[in-house]
Amino acid sequence: MEEITYRPIGKIRTPHKEPKGTPIQPPAAEGIEGRIEILDEYAEGLKDLDGFSHVILLYHFHLIKKTTLSATPFMEDREHGIFAFRAPSRPNPIGLSIVRLGEIEGNILHIKDVDIVDGTPLLDIKPYIPGFDRRENVRFGWLENNIQKLPEKKDDGRFVK
C-alpha cells in the first residue's frame, strides 16, 4: 500500500509538559487552558471558525516510540485490542480531542479542556457539529463498566517507553 505523509499545520501549547500526569480525555481536563499556534500559511483557513464553540483536533502523538496491537488501557486492568480504546501507541499515532474554542487572535486559537501534551504537532482542525458528530443509542463496549473512572485517571507514562 502507498505511504501517506502529513505535514503539521501548527503546534498545540498546553501546561502538560510530559504524558505522565496528563488527563486522558478532554472531559477529565475541564477548564485546563491551552492554545494552538497555526502556521502562517494556514491562517486563512481559520476564517469563520470563531462561530463554533468546540473543535475537533487531529494531532500526531510525537512522543510515542512504540506501536502495539494490544495493551491495558488506563481505566481497565486487562488487555484489549488497540482499536478498542484510544491509547496513543497505535500503528498510526494519531490523536483526536474535542476541545472548547475560545478567542481567536490572528493565527492563535485559545482552547479549553485540553488533554494534550505541550508541543504536539497539529494535523487538522474540524468544527464540532452536534448534528454530524453526536450519535444516539451508543454502546461503548468494555468502557461501559469503567467510564466512571475517567475523572481520576491520568496518563501514567506506560505508552511512551
State the CATH number of the domain containing residue 99.
2.40.30.70
Q: Does residue 3 form part of some domain?
A: no
Q: Which of 29-43, 76-90, 104-118 has the lowest mean pLDDT?
A: 76-90
Question: Is residue 124 predicted with pLDDT exceeding 90?
Answer: yes
Rounded percentage of the chain residues whose pLDDT exceeds 70:
99
Within a domain: residue 4? no
Tens digits of residue pLDDT in 2-28: 999 999 999 999 999 999 999 988 888
| Span 94-110, pLDDT tens digits | 999 999 999 999 999 99
State how many domains the chain has: 1
- Between 42 and 150, the more confident residue is 42
> How many alpha carbons fall within 13 Å on the CB side of residue 147?
7
Is residue 83 in a domain?
yes
- Residue 109's Cβ-count burial label (10 Å; 0-12, 13-18, 19+) is buried
Which residue range(s) make up the domain with 71? 10-129+137-152
Residue 161 counted as domain residue: no
The pLDDT of residue 161 is above 70: no
Strands 94-105 and 54-60: antiparallel
pTM, 2 dp: 0.90
